[in-house]
Chain A
Amino acid sequence: MAENKPRIKLPKEAGKGEIVQIKTLITHPMESGQRKDADGKPIPRKIINRFVCEFNGKPVFEADLETAISANPYIEFFAKVEDEGTFTFTWVDDDNVVTTAQEHIALKA
């Protein structure tokens, strides 16, 4: 599979102190570990277990994900914007595969 490119939606700019909604979507099978393959062998668990969003290096939103979350997890949350800067997003899975992304936001004049 090609490198994993998450989808992220957040406004390009916000007023100082404005609360913005951030939506993220990423490709991942989120294999729960409960399923068995055609031969009856358990399919090993492989899920994204942690999602972290930081703004200018400071944590904004963190989540520990568990096995009940479906494939291609969609995570939506809010953040209060006081400065312009960069949101960084990090997804970590059970095999320590780390996917990151960044989005910049400007302050409205």
Chain B
Amino acid sequence: MKLPFAIAAALLCASVVLAGADEALKGIPAPPGHVFKTIYSGYQFRTAKTRALQDDDMQNPGFLAIDRAADLWNKIDGAAGKSCASCHGTAEDSMKGVGAKMPKWSAALGKPVNLEQQINICRANAMKATPWPFKSQALTDMTTFVRFQSRGMPVNVQIDGPMAPWFDKGKELYYDRVGQLDLSCASCHETNVGLHMRADLLSQGQSNGFPTYRLRDQRLIPLHERFQGCMHDVRAVPYEPLSDEFLALEIYLAWRGVGLPVETPAVRN
């Protein structure tokens, strides 16, 4: 269901009532054929104080993870006696741009992989090290660290070729109503952008800042954990993290935010 004028009008009205925002939302124009006319990062929907936390690398608690992961990057782990650095050298060089294009197609696996999965593939295959569990501090830290190397670069995921069926599946999941509350992602993040849901201000639900430091949890939250949270909130049974469903959704969601700067580690509510 697409009502571009209605959404644009809602956004214009929303920019006036935004809690704590002194100025109208700053968005980027969406490419032709996109579902939005203007794409807004979640950053735009937060109060000035929250934005200030993100903007100061010293106050942004996500940087504690980046420091930890910078050490992990150089730490030898696994039977092959290698560290990340053994193959990838300096992360600032080798990982630049990588996070902005994830998930990417894996010819070896015949399916897409996201950043968490690729890190564990490297650990298992190249390092002969035990993969890190999803939501573990090590995996979240390293995902944040790698994606941080793309900070400021525009999100640009591939959606054609072999990615096309995954994109379509993600789109289907995005608009599927689920759960006891019978809501889809679009119910909040498309139809009601800029309006309040209890005390929270609904954003476009973009993924450009993930893993994100959530003030609610006081830690970095990987994207699939946030997906689980949203599904839990509509009283649906969430898909598993790193499942095909969440992978497809991640691909589609990245497209919805194409052109937004990577903000990892973002600070959000």
What is the distance, in angstroms, from A3's C-beta to the closest C-beta of chain B? 9
Given A70-B218, A71-B218, A72-B218, A25 and B68 contact (CB-CB distance below 8 Å): no
Q: Hey, which chain A residues are within 8 Å of B71, CB to CB?
A: 2, 5
What is the distance, in angstroms, from B236's C-beta to the closest C-beta of chain A? 20
Query: B67, A5: Cβ atoms under 8 Å?
Result: yes
What is the distance, in angstroms, from A45's C-beta to the closest C-beta of chain B? 15
Q: Is A100 positioned at the interface, with any CB of B under 8 Å from its CB?
A: no
Q: Is A7 positioned at the interface, with any CB of B under 8 Å from its CB?
A: yes
Given A2-B71, A9-B58, A74-B59, A25 and B64 contact (CB-CB distance below 8 Å): yes
Q: Quick one: which of B64-95 are within 8 Å of A by CB?
A: 64, 67-68, 71-72
Q: Is B259 positioned at the interface, with any CB of A under 8 Å from its CB?
A: no
Q: How many contacts A-B (CB < 8 Å)?
A: 35
Q: Hey, which chain A residues are within 8 Å of B257, CB to CB?
A: none
Given A1-B137, A23-B58, A23-B59, A72 and B64 contact (CB-CB distance below 8 Å): yes
Closest residue of chain A to B64 (Cβ to Cβ) is A27
What is the distance, in angstroms, from A95's C-beta to the closest C-beta of chain B? 19
Query: B68, A7: Cβ atoms under 8 Å?
Result: no
* Cα(A23)–Cα(B61), bound, Å: 13
Q: Quick one: which of A1-59 are within 8 Å of B by CB?
A: 1-2, 5, 7, 9, 23, 25-27, 29-30
Give how many A residues have a beta carbon under 8 Å from the other chain's beta carbons.
15
* Cα(A5)–Cα(B58), bound, Å: 13
Given A7-B58, A25-B58, A71-B218, A2 and B63 contact (CB-CB distance below 8 Å): no
Query: Which residue from A2, A5, A25, A26 sits with its C-beta under 8 Å from B59?
Result: A25
Closest residue of chain A to B68 (Cβ to Cβ) is A2
* Cα(A30)–Cα(B61), bound, Å: 13
* Cα(A23)–Cα(B71), bound, Å: 21
Query: B137, A25: Cβ atoms under 8 Å?
Result: no
B 28-65 binary contact with A (CB < 8 Å = 1; else 0): 00000000000000000000000000000011010110
Q: Hey, which chain A residues are within 8 Å of B68, CB to CB?
A: 2, 5, 27
Closest residue of chain A to B75 (Cβ to Cβ) is A2
Q: Which of A2, A5, A9, A70 gathers most chain B CB within 10 Å?
A: A2
Q: Hey, which chain A residues are within 8 Å of B215, CB to CB?
A: 70
* Cα(A1)–Cα(B68), bound, Å: 10
Closest residue of chain B to A21 (Cβ to Cβ) is B58
Query: B218, A25: Cβ atoms under 8 Å?
Result: no
Q: Hey, which chain A residues are within 8 Å of B58, CB to CB?
A: 7, 9, 23, 25, 74
Closest residue of chain A to B56 (Cβ to Cβ) is A23
Q: Hey, which chain B residues are within 8 Å of A70, CB to CB?
A: 215, 218
What is the distance, in angstroms, from B83's C-beta to the closest C-beta of chain A? 14
What is the distance, in angstroms, from A58's C-beta to the closest C-beta of chain B? 25
What is the distance, in angstroms, from A55's C-beta to the closest C-beta of chain B? 19
What is the distance, in angstroms, from B22's C-beta to the closest C-beta of chain A? 23
Q: Hey, which chain B residues are within 8 Å of A71, CB to CB?
A: 61, 218-219
Q: Which of B58, B63, B72 gathers most chain A CB within 10 Å?
A: B58
Q: Hey, which chain A residues are within 8 Å of B64, CB to CB?
A: 7, 25-27, 72
Query: Which residue from A1, A7, A29, A30 sits with its C-beta under 8 Å from B63?
Result: A7
Extra contacts, 4 of them, besides A2-B71, A72-B64 (Cβ < 8 A), are A7-B67, A25-B58, A27-B64, A70-B215
A-B contact pairs, 5 of them (CB 8 A): A5-B71, A7-B58, A7-B63, A25-B61, A71-B61
Please provide the 10 A-B residue pairs with the shortest distance between their CB atoms, ordered closest to farther.
A71-B218, A72-B61, A23-B58, A27-B64, A9-B58, A74-B59, A5-B67, A2-B68, A25-B58, A72-B64
